[in-house]
Amino acid sequence: RPSSSQMENGCSLSGANCRAKGGAPGFKVAILGAAGGIGQPLALLMKMNPLVSVLHLYDIVNTPGITADVSHMDTGAVVRGFVGQPQLEDALTGMDLVIIPAGVPRKPGMTRDDLFNINAGIVKNLCEGIAKCCPKATVNIISNPVNSTVPIAAEVFKRAGTYDPKRLLGVTMLDVVRANTFVAEVLGLDPREVDVPVVGGHAGVTILPLLSQVKPSCNFTKEEIEYITNRIQNGGTEVVEAKAGAGSATLSMAYAAVKFADACLRGLRGDAGVVECAFVDSQVTELPFFASKVRLGRNGVEEIHQLGPLNEYERAGLEKAKKELSGSIEKGVAFVRK
């Protein structure tokens, strides 16, 4: 039960008078960075998810107000708010899934790697809390640069002796969401009917859409392939520039994060055939981490799909992606080992 400084649904009745303590059956989910541009709409959408019974909202600021607000929604999940480092352990204890959108976003002119100096320490600190309080939780990392923050999380868990590669996933779902949207625009289709695998990582040329494997199957001209690939690789920058200093993608990211978290929860529940792209500990290439389609199950990542046949354009893209990814992964590992 949370201490009096934490907030649970705002119900001021106590003991036998307040009956709403258990929550519906389902999963316990924590959002770390819940007061941010992504965190707030993510909290809203996770409160609407019927698979969630308990929702913990943690940030270093502002979670009491957000918790009070979201908790008034007449959906099943019990919402509890936690603010500041002293409440991190309570926020994490007992969680099945931890989603991390904590950290600073880009401004125009910055790369995701420019966020490393601040976000690496934030992710390290939060993962140390996870290793201590919910070592078996599935972890979804959104904080950028994902190509480095996922290796950071893995190193923290290895040091703590809790690393389970099946339970650590970098969220690249926004690249897939964008790819589905942009391909659907070009083909004149409903984006919900389109499935584009996006592999590699989550920054610039490491974002590699496999347009030869789009479903429904179709042929693109060379010009279309270059246009769509560039638009997907620069989708984040397109939003950063349009927001003109007010941050990066938050609403489409919250949508993508919930789509991905819901897939993780359906996998944990035992649903069959849950397959999404994610940046994971992988042997698909010679790199230790790589994004590709993965099958999600009761233990997290149950199977990692191979890349399948690539055309010449994609093979060249893969070489570029691997070169950049390798440095980003090493940078993350070195940050924890140093």
CA angle 157, 144, 78 (to 5 degrees): 70
Asked whether position 55 contacts ligand NAD by CB under 6 A, the answer is no
Shortest separation between residue 175's beta carbon and ligand NAD, angstroms: 7
Is residue 39 marked as binding? yes
Size of the site for ligand NAD (CB under 6 A): 33
Shortest separation between residue 223's beta carbon and ligand LMR, angstroms: 24
**Residue 209 contact, options ligand NAD, ligand LMR, none, Cβ 5-8 Å cut-off depending on partner type:** none
Shortest separation between residue 178's beta carbon and ligand LMR, angstroms: 8
Shortest separation between residue 23's beta carbon and ligand NAD, angstroms: 24
Is residue 118 marked as binding? no
> Which is catalytic among the residues 56, 72, 202, 305?
202
Shortest separation between residue 299's beta carbon and ligand LMR, angstroms: 28
**Residue 133 contact, options ligand LMR, ligand NAD, none, Cβ 5-8 Å cut-off depending on partner type:** none
Shortest separation between residue 105's beta carbon and ligand NAD, angstroms: 4
Strand partners, 97: 29, 138
**Residue 239 contact, options ligand NAD, ligand LMR, none, Cβ 5-8 Å cut-off depending on partner type:** ligand LMR
If 0-12 CB within 10 Å is exposed, 13-18 middle and 19+ buried, where does residue 151 land?
A: buried
Is residue 53 marked as binding? no
Tokens coding 319: 């070489």
Is residue 261 marked as binding? no
Rounded CA-CA distance 63/263 in Å is 26
Is residue 173 marked as binding? no
Rounded CA-CA distance 114/248 in Å is 14
Asked whether position 23 contacts ligand NAD by CB under 6 A, the answer is no
- Name the segment binding ligand NAD (CB under 6 A); options: 23-31, 138-146, 221-229, 260-268: 138-146
Binding site for ligand LMR (CB under 6 A): 105-106, 112, 144, 174, 235-236, 239-240, 248-249
Q: Which residues touch 146 (CB under 8 Å, ≥6 apart)?
A: 112, 170, 171, 172, 201, 202, 203, 279
Please say which residue, 239 or 304, places its beta carbon nearer to ligand NAD. 239
**Does 202 participate in catalysis according to the annotation?**
yes
Q: Which residues touch 165 (CB under 8 Å, ≥6 apart)?
A: 154, 280, 281, 301
Exactly one of 9, 49, 144, 148 binds ligand NAD (CB under 6 A); which one? 144
Strand 78-83 versus strand 52-59 pairing type: parallel
Asked whether position 59 contacts ligand NAD by CB under 6 A, the answer is yes
Strand 198-200 versus strand 207-209 pairing type: antiparallel
Asked whether position 168 contacts ligand NAD by CB under 6 A, the answer is no
Residue ranges in 205-264 that form contacts with ligand NAD under rule CB under 6 A: 247-250, 253
Is residue 170 marked as binding? no
Please say which residue, 26 or 178, places its beta carbon nearer to ligand NAD. 178
Q: Which residues contact ligand NAD (rule: CB under 6 A)?
A: 32-33, 35-39, 59-61, 101-106, 115, 119, 122, 125-126, 142-144, 146, 171, 174, 202, 247-250, 253
Annotation: binding site for NAD(+)? 33-39, 59, 119, 142-144, 253
Active-site positions read: 202
Question: Annotated binding site: which residue ranges?
Answer: 33-39, 59, 106, 112, 119, 142-144, 178, 253
